[in-house]
């Protein structure tokens, strides 16, 4: 089978499995990302996410992560909700956390795609990844032509905005490689202007220690007083820089039933969140990304608005 034909059947199967887009790039050392990432770490912008200091070489060179690899198949999976949860007089959770944890859902589909490749192409070595290893996923998705990096550091696609997850298959196949697309943010600074905690320090550079998403999830300490007043009702994650992005007017509702919120969450208002018990938390958020912050973390986030 030719490289072109092999690439075509992989991309077609990816769409059949529900992925929104699929692009491919050749594995190499990401020299252009080295200094940017090093400077970001040296500035301490990673906060308490110490795992980002590890495996620096693997993050920049996937051949050290998957030996013998030749190609990175980057995929996106839409999570833009058909209907948003009530914001008025309510606390807010990020759209990506409405339903079940995306890691398991997407990883299952990745494994299906990889099995299909093995059955239809031949003996292939590789690994699948969903935000779970030192893979510079946005950089590879950009090189694969799936979008450009916006000023808020997220991947933006001109046909679907930025409300999607990114995943990869890194394998030892030679494939037909895609090319990057133009950066189409232009002079727009809406995401920078809208960030209530000034977490976007400059174009594509985020100070996680000020980011509401980091403060409500990864951060295990108390939230700094000077930032609490600007959290805009969020208790898990944040969508502000995406909500204001003009390209997200092209976002289309996802078709993944498992990403839909359960009936309990849809009914929740401020009073319910405040009265949330650990027992109820464990029931409502079973299999949810919200479990990442744990009950204690979610209660801390809620209580920042009650001080």
Residues 222 and 158 in one domain: no
Q: Is residue 191 part of a domain?
A: no
Q: Are 127 and 265 contained in the same domain? A: no
Count of domains observed in the chain: 2
- Asked if residue 38 is part of any domain, the answer here is yes
Q: Are residues 106 and 214 in the same domain?
A: no
Cα dihedral 83, 291, 165, 50 sign: positive
Burial of 284 (0-12, 13-18, 19+ CB in 10 A): middle
178 within some domain: no
Cβ neighbours of 176 (radius 10 Å): 15
Average pLDDT of the chain to the nearest whole number: 96
Kindly tell me if the per-residue pLDDT of 255 is higher than 90: yes
User: What would the mean pLDDT of 99-125 be, rounded to a whole number?
Assistant: 96
Q: What is the mean pLDDT of residues 60-79?
A: 97
Encode 58-70: b = buried (16+ Cβ within 10 Å), e = exposed. Answer: bbbbbeebbeebb
User: pTM above the 0.75 mark?
Assistant: yes
* Contacts with 158 (C-beta within 8 Å, 6 or more apart), sequence order: 147, 181, 184, 247, 250
pLDDT, position 1: 82
Cβ atoms of 233 and 90 closer than 8 Å: yes
pLDDT at 10 over 90: yes
Report long-range pairs for 219-227 (Cβ below 8 Å, ≥24 apart).
Answer: 219/47, 219/48, 220/48, 220/297, 221/48, 222/300, 223/300, 223/301, 223/304, 227/197
Identify the domain boundary among 171, 190, 211: 171
With a pLDDT cut of 90, the percent of the chain lying above it is 96
Whether residue 111 contacts residue 177, with contact meaning beta carbons closer than 8 Å, is answered with no
The catalytic residue among 131, 172, 183, 243 is 131
Domain that holds residue 52: 3-81+99-171
Please give the Cα distance from 11 to 97 (Å, whole number). 27
User: Is 140 part of any domain?
Assistant: yes
Confidence at residue 132, expressed as pLDDT on a 0 to 100 scale: 81
Quick one: tokens of 128? 């699948």
pLDDT digits (tens, 9 = 90+) for 181-226: 999 999 999 999 999 999 999 889 999 999 999 999 999 999 999 9
Q: Is residue 119 over pLDDT 80?
A: yes
Taking alpha carbons only, the member of 142, 149, 235 closest to residue 200 is: 149
If asked whether residues 71 and 159 sit together in one domain, one would say yes
98: Cα separation from own chain's centroid: 14
194 domain-assigned: no
Cα gap 75→257, rounded to integer Å = 19
104 and 49 in one domain? yes
Do 148 and 291 reside in the same domain of the chain?
no
Instruction: Please give the backbone phi and psi of residue 127, each rounded to the nearest 5 degrees, phi first.
Output: -140, 155
Q: Verify that 42 and 113 share a domain, yes or no.
A: yes
List pLDDT tens digits, range 258-273.
999 999 999 999 999 9
- How many angstroms separate the CA atoms of 143 and 207, rounded? 24
- State the helix-helix crossing angle for 3-16 and 102-120, rounded to 10 degrees: 140
Whether 185 is in a domain gets the answer no
Residue 131 annotated to the active site: yes
Looking at the fold, whether 11 and 117 belong to one and the same domain comes out as: yes
Write the pLDDT tens digit of every residue in 134-188.
999 999 999 999 999 999 999 999 999 999 999 999 999 999 999 999 999 999 9
């Amino acid at each position: 089978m030719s490289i072109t034909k092999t690439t075509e059947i992989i991309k077609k199967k990816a769409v059949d499995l529900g992925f929104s887009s699929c692009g491919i790039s050749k594995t190499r050392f990401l020299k252009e990302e080295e200094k940017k990432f090093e400077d970001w770490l040296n500035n301490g912008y990673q906060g308490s996410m110490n795992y980002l200091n590890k495996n620096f070489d693997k993050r920049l060179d996937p051949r050290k992560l998957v030996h013998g690899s030749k190609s990175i198949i980057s995929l996106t999976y839409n999570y833009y909700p058909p209907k948003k949860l009530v914001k008025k007089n309510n606390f807010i959770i990020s759209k990506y956390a409405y339903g079940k944890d995306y890691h398991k859902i997407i990883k299952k589909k990745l494994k299906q795609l990889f099995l299909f490749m093995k059955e239809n192409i031949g003996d292939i070595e590789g690994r699948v990844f969903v935000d779970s290893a030192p893979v510079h996923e946005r950089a590879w998705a950009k090189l694969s032509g799936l979008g450009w990096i916006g000023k808020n550091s997220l991947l933006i696609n001109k046909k679907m905005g930025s409300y999607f997850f990114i995943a990869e298959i890194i394998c030892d196949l030679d494939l037909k490689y895609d090319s990057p697309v133009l950066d189409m943010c232009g002079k727009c600074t809406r995401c920078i202007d809208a960030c209530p905690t000034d977490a976007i320090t400059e174009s594509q550079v985020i100070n996680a220690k000020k980011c509401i998403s980091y403060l409500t999830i990864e951060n295990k300490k108390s939230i700094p007083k000077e930032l609490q007043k600007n959290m805009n009702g969020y208790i898990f994650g944040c969508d502000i820089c995406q909500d204001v992005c003009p390209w997200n007017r092209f976002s289309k509702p996802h078709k993944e039933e498992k990403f839909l919120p359960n009936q309990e969450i849809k009914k929740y208002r401020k009073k319910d969140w405040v009265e949330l018990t650990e027992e109820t938390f464990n029931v409502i958020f079973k299999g949810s990304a919200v479990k990442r912050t744990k009950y204690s973390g979610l209660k801390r986030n809620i209580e920042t608005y009650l001080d």
